[in-house]
Amino acid sequence: MLGRLFGRGAERTAAHPHALPVAGKRKHGTYALRALGDTRVLALVEAADAGDWAEVKAALAPFDLGRDQTVLGQLTDVDGVEEWIVRAAEEDRDDKELRATALLISGARHVSWGWEARTSALAVDVSREQWQTFYERLRIAEEHLLEAAELQPDWVTPWRHLLTSGRGMSVDGSVQEARLAAGLRRDPLNVDIHLEWVSHLQPRWGGEPGQALEFARKAFAAAPDGHPLGCAVAMAHIEDWVESDNRDCLQQPRIRTELREAAERSILHHDYERRLGWQGEYNIFAMALSLAGSSKASNVFRELDGVITEWPWTFMADPEKAYARFRKAF
């Protein structure tokens, strides 16, 4: 074995034949997107919540979990998946793709479940028992993700989650770089791989100041107009804000200009294609542009029409209130 979306040119989700309305109106006039606004995704999530592997397999038919993190991410948040998904992998041991699919879901879920145990607290505030549970779950995740990657060598999503588990396990830097390279060989412009590496390069994880932004800029420069990789630049700036003690650190003309130009060449470009989950990318730019004080944020909030995604607003003490405040300001 081997050792947390998209623009113009496509119908908007609300017009999609399988679209769902977002969840009911919440305080501050924001809406939480439910199952990516798609009835097919909702059926998948409900089958997973019921622990019905046969129904999960049927609901997976329209999707490609090995290459698309968007739908896989919906499964990783379903409580209890870890209780039955390993049995599902054993049931389909003779079918390489189905076994790999079950192992991928299990691995991704165990990564998410591991971080739930650790919580977002500072390392010094995490108990010994929490650390033990965290590592136990990540070890299972690594085992399952590596086997899934071996069974389906062309899949990219196992490598994206191995980057996350590796960061939590503090694996050697050369191993992480090899995992990054493996993911990018399979999909050189994969947005989720790039966003994960932007997180990996943060000083709180051992990176150097400026590394993440340099990486993001280089990646986006190589992408065609209308590609969502501009989100890596926006996320690098948000991460800089998270690391800084200066809450106004992004309100510099050069940063404001860079974020505006990145938005115009990616999510606001006429070649940008809105695919399932596009609201997540818009929310990244909504937060980055707002923190920079850019009037371009109004364009993004207008398209979102009140829809909020958990990431990246989870960096805020009160995400919904922050979203509503910025939306009103612009």
Q: What is the pLDDT of residues 263-282, one digit of tens each?
A: 999 999 999 999 999 999 99
Residue type, 107: G
CATH 1.10.3470 fits 33-187, yes or no: no
Angle, CA of 93, 58 and 164, to the nearest 5°: 65
pLDDT at 120: 75
Written as six digits, the tokens of 271 are 């070649």
Residue range(s) of every CATH 1.25.40 domain in the chain: 33-187
pLDDT in tens, 87-118: 999 988 899 999 999 999 999 999 999 888 87
Number of Cβ atoms within 10 Å of the Cβ of 317: 7
Q: Which of 75-89, 213-227, 260-274 has the lowest mean pLDDT?
A: 75-89
Q: Which of 31-35, 145-149, 314-318 is the most confident on average?
A: 145-149
**SS3 state of residue 21:** coil
The answer on pLDDT for 127 being more than 80 is yes
User: Maximum Cα–Cα distance for the chain, whole Å?
Assistant: 58
pLDDT in tens, 237-246: 999 999 999 9
Residues 87, 51 contacting (CB under 8 angstroms): no
Residues 212, 198 contacting (CB under 8 angstroms): yes
**SS3 state of residue 165:** helix
Give pTM, 2 decimals: 0.89
